[in-house]
Amino acid sequence: MPFNFKRTEIEGLVIIEPRVFADGRGFFLETYKKSDFVKEGITEEFVQDNHSFSCKGVLRGVHLQKGASAQGKLVRCLAGAVWDVAVDLRPGSATFGKWFGIELSSENNIMFYIPPGFGHGFVTLEDNTHFLYKCTHEYDPKNDSGIIWNDADLAIEWPLTDGLSFSDKDLVLQSFSKFKEGL
Ligand SMILES: Cc1cn([C@H]2C[C@H](O)[C@@H](COP(=O)(O)OP(=O)(O)O[C@H]3O[C@H](C)C(=O)[C@H](O)[C@H]3O)O2)c(=O)[nH]c1=O
């Protein structure tokens, strides 16, 4: 089996450890295989691939697309390292408002599947971090939404909190309570 799939305490989140084939030249690994992922229950079709590059201390998120534009994401770090966070924002979920964080890096090659309905964000732990991810819905800015990174109710434990850089948009994202009002 080229992938080791591990579940978390939040239903739907999947940690994926690819099998690394190392040899004298370097290594080879598969980053996605439909048949294995469908067997694991990750049946959504991926329709868009994204790539972001950041220096250390960049925090992107917490973002999601609303309604029918909700995106599932299969994320990984090609170079560098991130602390990646998924927040359960699925109305009616037993873990609504709960978050899960994991370090993804070019060292550990770990991938992370985040189903539609979750907020997603990460903070980069190293310079020259290249973050790649597959999405199950195309970009739909009309349905872009998010929650401020340091919302007290979500209480996400970010490993870096000082000297961070943000987009202007991320600095004025709504609170979790405001987000809930809109549901
Ligand atoms: C997401 C996206 C953005 N853009 C354009 C819109 C902006 O002009 C520019 C930068 O977008 P933004 O500042 O929203 O990029 P991030 O802050 O990295 O946003 C992402 O960060 C978190 C971690 C996510 O999980 C989402 O995929 C996404 O929200 O790229 C596009 O053209 N297509 C896209 O799919």
Look up residue 60 and give its DSSP letter: E
Q: Which amino acid is at 106?
A: S
Task: Give me the pLDDT at residue 162, please.
Answer: 92
Task: Give me the pLDDT at residue 52, please.
Answer: 98
Q: Which two tokens stand for residue 88?
A: 């359960």
Task: Give me the pLDDT at residue 154, please.
Answer: 98
Strands 118-124 and 111-114: unpaired
The residue extents of the domains of the chain are 3-181
Task: Give me the pLDDT at residue 2, please.
Answer: 82
- Provide ipTM, 2 decimals: 0.98
Q: Which residues of the chain, if any, have pLDDT below 50?
A: none
CA distances from 127 to 61, 124, 159 (A): 18, 7, 15
Strand order in the sheet with 111-114: 3-7, 14-18, 111-114, 73-79, 129-135, 48-54
Residue 23 Cα, ligand 1 centroid: separation in angstroms? 36
Look up residue 20 and give its DSSP letter: P
Q: How far apart are CA 120 and CA 116, in angstroms?
A: 10
CA 116: distance to chain centroid?
11
Residue 51 Cα, ligand 1 centroid: separation in angstroms? 9
The residues lining ligand 1, judged by C-beta closer than 6 Å to any ligand atom, are 50, 52, 60-61, 63, 73, 120-122, 139, 167
Look up residue 97 and give its DSSP letter: T
Task: Give me the pLDDT at residue 176, please.
Answer: 98
Task: Give me the pLDDT at residue 137, please.
Answer: 98
Task: Give me the pLDDT at residue 1, please.
Answer: 74
Testing ligand 1's pocket by substitution, the residue of 124, 139, 140 carrying the most ligand atoms inside 8 A of its CB is: 139
The residue whose C-alpha atom lies closest to atom 4 belonging to ligand 1 is 139
Task: Give me the pLDDT at residue 110, please.
Answer: 98
CATH of 3-181, one of 2.40.30.10, 1.10.3660.10, 2.60.120.10, 1.10.150.80: 2.60.120.10
Q: How far apart are CA 70 and CA 90, in angstroms?
A: 10
Q: Name the H helices within 82-145.
A: none
